[in-house]
Amino acid sequence: MTDTPQFHCGFVAIVGRPNVGKSTLMNHLIGQKISITSKKSQTTRHRVTGIHTEDAAQFVFVDTPGFQTYHKGALNEALNKSVKDSLGSVDCVLFLLEAMRFTSADKEVMALLPKKTPVILVVNKLDKAKDKLTLQAFIDEVTAEFEFAGVEVVSAKHGQRLAELLDQVRPHLPESMPLYPEDMVTDKNERFLAAEIVREKLFRYLGEELPYEMNVEVEMFEMDGALRRIHIAVLVDKEHQKPIVIGKAGEKLKKISTEARLDMEKLFDGKVFLQVWVKVKSGWADDVRFLREFGLN
């Protein structure tokens, strides 16, 4: 009589400086887009959980905000605290770096890495490496600074070598029954995901014009038969920031709303009626109580 193979399940934090590809990596690992991506720093402002289930293992990934010190204030402190908290309650950590770039911002995140939890160095954007020797020299430089449990080179954008990355993580997951149903890819509800989709479009279509002190608030999410009726307010800190989001004759906000609605209909597999408008709420980014209401503190 043979022993029944044990199931393994655990939490895996994905950490790194802003804009290094954490959200893109998690989306590809779970096979569905639930964490928003952008070239702008700190697009991710919540701890987003993504779930990947196999026959004998369940990986619960935590996508964290990018740790950074450029912006000051309660909002940034809350985001950085989220990174630190994530590292204290996981079974494995993926420390993400961009190939051939090891900056002071990366070193700030490295200083937060736990000593008693396995940390795997994940070198992203492998197309940035000119050749294997140059890449190996870069890896040697980084691994000299910290004792990693493993190293893997991937392309998060193109989904390359992700199976090999999972092979490295799997041995560090404890024996446990799965925490979530096998068809579940996130613990976030549709209300949360709707807000994240609108935020992504704001980042994508406003680019550098986008105010750092910006967030979105779901004011209504109702089911009308098979139709989802969703009202979302875009919060900005100053009156003069409203026209930036709205655009000439409302063109930018209309494009953002249309693209967000199409993404929601694809994700929710149903029709969506979406209304988005802009609201000024001065000082919200420095209001700790308000940040706590949004789950940012």
Tens-place pLDDT, residues 83-112: 556 566 789 999 999 999 999 989 988 988
Q: Can you state the angle between helices 22-30 and 162-169, rounded to 10 degrees?
A: 90
| Residue 40 confidence (pLDDT) | 42
| Residue 197 confidence (pLDDT) | 87
Tell me the DSSP string of 11-67: EEEEE-STTSSHHHHHHHHHTS--S---SSTT---S-EEEEEE-SSEEEEEEE-PPP
Tens-place pLDDT, residues 157-205: 888 999 999 999 999 999 999 988 888 888 788 888 898 889 888 887 8
pLDDT classification of 81: cutoffs 50, 70, 90: low
The residue assigned the tokens 């089911």 is: 223
| Residue 150 confidence (pLDDT) | 97
CB–CB of 190/268 below 8 Å? yes
Query: Rounded to two decimals, what is the model's pTM?
Result: 0.69
Tell me the three state secondary structure of residue 222. Answer: strand
